[in-house]
Chains A and B, each alone.
Chain A
């Protein structure tokens, strides 16, 4: 039931990207939610992990104007001996430094917004959704970590006649997922690793609940696409290809399998957040290896496989 506070439902967002062409059909706007229960070693949106706003800092852009020094209420910025130092450990993400920074060296990633505010932006591109069969995609981060907010977004989008996609790793409460699914045309569902232990090792959580959710979703007739990140040294194996194919064969409403070759571009963002380096490898995955994987999967399932 949509509460009349639906559009007033508040959530944490780190980007609303217009003209997305790879997160569902047609031309779409993707809403990236901030906050994720997983900690995948290869994550390309590390700014999505924590729910609260965080400061991005790009030292090369600093022009040494010192505006942030006076702006920060906790005195975390300093420009002693001409070098700008940022003491991140005390940062609360208030964003005052980013507000004062003219050069974009300091930006605040993540802000609170109501579903209504987000939908207002999403609906601006309605002419394009109509002409292309596109719509809204909710991604992140993990939509299921903000279930009421996600529900308000998808309900609002559906009420406006939009096609709705949700990108999720599937880790969350079934009840919440079911309510969201009532207004979702297509789920883009991550399948990272088959084995429970492996899954926990690389993402921080097990996958039993995730798979249960997926199966229940499928039983209710909801359409899905499997999103499979390929990481060398982790899951680029015939074994994982078999797991993907077997899962695909199980699901009756699976539309396709997207293989997503690892790319290291998230490393830049880790640096900007003052995080340690990730462990995905640092280089784009060789396309030939991804194609080989695709071949293994195709040998075992009729579900269409695409290498992205």
Chain B
């Protein structure tokens, strides 16, 4: 009696889950088919699902229509730079907040926390003006500098994690004559690999997919990131859906690949942000 109820639950669950999975994946499948089809066949009714023959030339045409190679390079360069910068700067700062005692610590931490509440639109306008004033408008500096030195969020996340590391390890190290930096480098960092991986993955995703800031601060195509380049592509080739889907596919593949290899860190990151301290 109880087991058949459980089985019914499970069947029902599978139905819901499969429907959900279908709903999530179909748009992507549709994107792939459209990207690989003969451009003329994109407008067939009823729509043709299997792209045969496969028009790999769509990719070539898309790649050459706009500087997608540059877009890809820019996205990779900017994202890796900021991710590295954030990991370094946030972990250093987080260590200070978690383990070191200095005057003004609580006040500064409170200011950090309250800054997390301020939405990006407020700071975007002055930052835009700052970049223009420093003649850094439309440069890589404008893309990288604001995020390079870390964020309040990343510092907060790592601080929470560092606090969970038993201080006995550090005490032992101090007795052995280690200074704070060595403790940070030899003990805290190696033990924090999961938290660092999680933050890294989150920052990567955020910067890779960032649209509004690069849109505002870059005007020349050679410096555009994939998101902005893709939007510009759509402005020029509004109805060339085969090529548009090609472009979308190109911009989506890198993050999908990373996701497949680091799925658990994505999930971890989300649950971490969802847990109240």
Are A and B part of the same complex? no
Q: Which residues of A contact B (CB under 8 A)?
A: none
